[in-house]
Structure formats: C-alpha cells, structure tokens
Amino acid sequence: MIEGHGDDAYKYKRPIEVNFSSNVYGRVDLSGLQAHLCHHISGISSYPEPEPYTLEGRLAEKHHLPSASVCVTNGATEAIYLIAQTFRGTNTAIFQPTFSEYADACRMHGHRVASMYKLPTAEDNYLLPPDIRMFWLCNPNNPTGAVIEKAYLKELIEHNPQVCFVIDQSYEFFTLQPLFSSVEAAHFSNVLLLHSMTKRYAVPGLRLGYITAHEGLLSRLRTHRMPWSVNQLAIEAGLYLLEYDVPNPLNISAYLQETARLRNALEQTGGLEVWATETHFMLVHLRFGKASALKDYLANEHGILIRDASNFEGLDERFFRIATQTPEENDRLVQAIGQWFETY
C-alpha cells in the first residue's frame, strides 16, 4: 500500500498547516542528533557493518537480552517483509483491521492469508484455526488504537505453540497499557516482537526498527536478511539516541487526556462515531458522506490533513484516522469538520 499511507501533503496545492494524518509525533527536538550526524557525515564514504552488530549490542544491553535476541532492520517495514520471506508459503492469519503491510508482505512471499476479526476466547480454549502457522497483530493496533491485554496474549501464545506470533509494538511508547517487555516475549520460542525507533524518536526518514525474540527464532531470520540494509547514518543515529536518550517532550498521560478530550469533542458534532482508543490516534466513522471528500475539503479549505482509512481491510469509505495534536489544533479540526457538516 505504498500510495495508501498518510502524510501525503504533496497531493495538495495549499500548504498543509496541521497534519493529523501521521502517527509520528513530530514535536521532538532533534537538533542534537542532526549536529551529531553532520559531524559524522564522512562515515558515508565507508561501508557500514554488514549487519548492525554494534547497535544490536547496545539495544540488547538496554533490553537485558543477549545480542543474538536483537535484529536491527531498516525500519519496522523491513522486519515485516523479512519475516514474511523467512516463513515463505505458510498459512497466515492477520487480525484486522490493521496495517496493510502485513498482508502485502505475506502475499508477496506466497503465504495463504486469512483475515480474522474476532479473537478466540476462553470458551474456545484460546485456540486459533488448526491450519494457521503464523499470526500477525499490531498492539497498540493501527488504525483503531486498541490494545490487547498482555494476560490474554500470554494465554493465546501458550495455547497455540504451533503458531509463530508476530506482535508489532511500534506504538508501545504511546500507551499506558501494559505490554510485553522484550524479555517476556523472548521467553517464548514462537514470538517475534517488533519495535520502532522511527515512532519513539520521530525519525521516519532514517528508517530504524528492530525485532526482539528468542535466539533460535531470530537465527532463522538472519539467514534471509540482506547485508548492509541499515545504512551508516542510521546506525550512528541509533547509537546516539540510545546513549543520550533524546527526550520526547510528551507527557503521555496528559497527551492521552487530550486525546480523550478530542474524541469527546468530535462525537459532540453528532456526525461522527469515534472508536475507543488506548493510544494517541483514533479511528473515526462518518455517519454520512465520504472520508475522501472530507479529507479534500479539510486540506483545500483549512490546510488540515487527515488519513483516509477506507483502504484498510474491513473498513469502508466512511472511515478516517487522526492523531492528536495540540489543543488549539485539535479545536481547529473539530470546528472545520463542523463547517463541513453544515454544507450537507
């Protein structure tokens, strides 16, 4: 879904002033990192490590894991495609609606893909369909913002030992709900946990992600990884971010309170159903009209960008996704949507 993601301000002639379409929180002071990378720019004259051993080692120390339990990738997206390639041709289930790259990667590598919209319960003995060998879920989930309880996931994993679970925790920094730690996930021999430095530090242009898992499971992935997939500047950035722990200015608790305020304000318009969320973004359903029309109106008339979510599997033309911004910008969005409703 290369053309289906948010952050597509380039499509509009009017400059975008407020971007609700991206889940990356962009108000992070990266001036120190930028200066550091400028100082190390000469590194582009040499090949990086064939595999980013040094950065993997630092991440392993941070997560209290052996180095063999960490695999750094060119963004979480490379991790997704690497996993799909490693387990090529298997029977895969994906908990929908969710990030489309899981299905795209799996179909590219010959998986037989099934969509699931309901998880098994205790009454089902937590059992997935017997033919499934790989199960993908995003937690917190994109685009819904929902979080699956850690205790439930533990039951699901333990009752399905024949299944490899891919749990994408790219948005783990943006929720207060308990999630698997890397050590907890690595305890299982059938869990691959995905992480995103892109989301945590707001560096999408650098493409930095990593997988943590049991050593034996990660060793299978390493046999398929492409050498030099993580460039020298990205490695240097990762080492800097870990050493200095560049602060994200967010108070997560306050940010989620503002998210709740925005959700309530949107529902008060009367024309929207906003799904419950445990993170900073939310899925919204129009009671009338199309998300594409609202998106064009907001961009062209107000300089506001939202994410048309109609291309997520299981959703239709009335869905869009937004990520919480400042209180003033959030109020501006609510007012602009109210004005659009008045045109009907």
Report the C-alpha gap between 231 and 76 in whole angstroms.
Answer: 15
Last residue of a domain, one of 188, 217, 242: 242
Same domain, 200 and 309: no
Q: Would you say residue 2 lies in a domain?
A: no
Same domain, 89 and 202: yes
**pLDDT of the residue at 244:** 82
CA–centroid distance for 210 within its chain? 12
- DSSP three-state, residue 53: helix
Give the CA-trace dihedral at 86, 92, 97, 98, to 10 degrees. -10
Q: Would you say residue 1 lies in a domain?
A: no
**pLDDT of the residue at 195:** 97
Cβ pair 141, 147 in contact under 8 A: yes
**pLDDT of the residue at 248:** 63
* Count of CB atoms situated within 10 Å of the CB of 259: 22
Same domain, 87 and 146: yes
Same domain, 46 and 60: yes
Amino acid at position 326, single letter: T
Amino acid at position 243, single letter: E
DSSP for residue 41: G
Residue 130 sits in a domain whose CATH number is 3.40.640.10
Cβ pair 16, 301 in contact under 8 A: no
Q: Would you say residue 300 lies in a domain?
A: yes
Residue 103 makes CB contacts below 8 A (sequence gap 6+) with 94, 113, 115, 313
Last residue of a domain, one of 221, 242, 263: 242
Spans in the chain with pLDDT lower than 50: none
Same domain, 46 and 86: yes
Sort strands 18-19 and 134-138 into parallel, antiparallel or unpaired. unpaired
Q: Would you say residue 295 lies in a domain?
A: yes
H/E/C letters for each residue in 231-263? Answer: CHHHHHHHHHHHHHCCCCCCCHHHHHHHHHHHH
Structural tokens at position 13: 């002639």
Look up the domain containing 76 and give its range. Answer: 29-242
Same domain, 16 and 101: no
**pLDDT of the residue at 10:** 87
Residue 264 sits in a domain whose CATH number is 3.90.1150.10
Structural tokens at position 33: 């990192």
Cβ pair 316, 310 in contact under 8 A: yes
**pLDDT of the residue at 325:** 95
pLDDT tens column, 166-204? 999 999 999 999 999 999 999 999 999 999 998 989 999
Same domain, 212 and 326: no
